[in-house]
Chain A
Amino acid sequence: MINIQEVIETNKMVSAEHLDVRTVTMGISLLDCISDDIDTLCERIHNKIIAKAKNLVPVCNEIAAEIGIPIVNKRISVTPVSLVTARTGQSVKVAEVLDKCAAEIGVDFVGGYSALVQKGMTPYEEEFIKTIPEALARTEKVCSSVNVGSTKTGINMDAVRLMGKMIKETAEKTKERDSIGCAKLVVFANAVDDNPFMAGAFHGVGEGDCIINVGVSGPGVVETALKQVRGADLTVVAETIKRIAYKITRVGQLVAQESSRRLGASFGIVDLSLAPTPVKGDSVARILEEIGVDCVGGYGTTACLALLNDAVKKGGIMASSHVGGLSGAFIPVSEDIGMIESAKKGILKLEKLEAMTAICSVGLDMIAIPGDTSAEVISAMIADESAIGVINNKTTAVRVIPVCGKNEGTAYFGGLLGEAPIMPINSVSPARFIARGGRIPAPVWANKN
């Protein structure tokens, strides 16, 4: 039988260290909803999502009650909308249907208002991307993502240029709420098809009809475990993280198995991520500080994060039968109390965050920047992050918020999205580079065949 210490350890992780399953995300294919007529398309999308996901929230709540571990978010991801509206256009209507479905089912976000243009853009994809600001302004729960590069294809700099403009336009259209629309818009390189986390989740075209992807969490649990090995060498630190990551991931695996069985969906993947929230004791920054850097952002931060990220994967891989998604520590500034504090002190800077993105998931995430930042500078940030991803064969992303009307101070998004100090940026003009357009060719090691 399980012993008393094991029961107490598990329950303490939940009550004192914020152990939770961060998200159960149901991926739903919309390919069979395609129609020549926008109203038929919308009706089919609504019917399919409701049919597949109507029990998502009650089933997750039931499982959470049975295992005694909270499942914080229930979400839906769908086939990139640019593909299903290729014939009809009028994509904003689909965004509104997705928003309505989310409200009816009770999920917090729906992802997949997306386009995959890593090599080229069709006219309908370009038209779709131009609807993103409007779609995000008119909906509450819809999330959008655009993939602009990949290791196999290089970087589509026309799409990068366009996305700089779209981020600015989204900020403008949601300016009365500190440009919150940009918190729901992410630009990727090497985007993954089975990501359960927002804002970047979409249901890839190579996926089945209906799948369950689970994202685990637990920065607080890792931090507490590391407090027990203060002063020990880094091999001990790595081993401690691996052991705890194994346990955390087992929770995700169990939830993924049970929820897919009860919902009649296929088990997709468990995403081995350490996702912070703005509450105390749930911070990735605090783990790095526990390892030994006094304040996140100081020298040593990148090395500590590399160790953490790698050990989480090593511990987690054995715990799950299918690992996927983004699988790495997240560093969203506005969602991590340690990152917020360090950024406010001016210690954590954009350049350090960029270095950190080279060795963990996922990118420049939830960073508020001055409202007067130009579209070209944002495009150039996207280009730099894409280059890191494309060359290193990993996912990278940019989710920055140029806060309309604010050039310093703090932007408030509320809830899980938190608050973010507006970080100063280097405003040297990259306009001539961005104006060139075209493609940055795929790196030499893309040619493996």
Chain B
Amino acid sequence: MKKAIVSVIGTDKKGIIARVSGLLFELGINVEDISQTIMQQYFTMIMLVDLSEAKGSFCSVCEELDKLGKEIGVDIRMQGEDIFTAMHRI
């Protein structure tokens, strides 16, 4: 099963990393790498995740993440890693 990039962008507040990684844990998704910064006052984080033991389909995981994003007021997306490697690596 493929790997994906979860990106989280929004106003900084307490507990964003905890909530997102908590949900990923519940969904059986392993986080392999995290990169996080504040860009133009926005909390910005990307996570490389492994979906091989994920509970549910790619789309259902996206929906769960979207739901959490709405709840805590940040934008959360998950996309296959290959689109970024295709575009940004030769």
Residues of A within 8 A of B (CB): 1-4, 6-11, 62, 65-69, 247, 250-251, 253-254
Contact = CB atoms under 8 A, between A and B. Distances in A.
Main secondary structure of the interface of B (DSSP, over half): strand
Most buried by B among A62, A69, A250: A250
A225 to B, nearest CB: 13
B5 A11 contact: no
A11 B7 contact: yes
A65 B88 contact: no
A2 B80 contact: no
A3 B84 CA distance: 9
B41 to A, nearest CB: 14
Given A4-B46, A67-B79, A10 B84 contact: yes
Contacts of B9: 8
B27 to A, nearest CB: 16
Main secondary structure of the interface of A (DSSP, over half): helix
B48 interface: yes
Which bucket holds chain B's interface residue count? 20 to 34
Given A1-B35, A250-B87, A66 B79 contact: yes
**Closest A-B pairs by Cβ, 5 of them:** A68-B79, A67-B83, A250-B86, A2-B84, A6-B88
B62 interface: yes
Interface of B: 5, 7, 9, 33, 35, 37, 39, 44-46, 48, 58-59, 62, 77, 79-88
Contacts of A2: 5, 46, 48, 81, 84-85, 88
Contacts of B77: 11, 68
Contact of A8 (B44, B59, B80): B44
9 contacts: A2-B46, A4-B35, A4-B46, A6-B84, A8-B7, A8-B44, A66-B79, A67-B83, A68-B83
Contacts of B83: 10, 67-69, 251, 254
Contacts of B46: 1-4, 7
B48 A66 contact: no
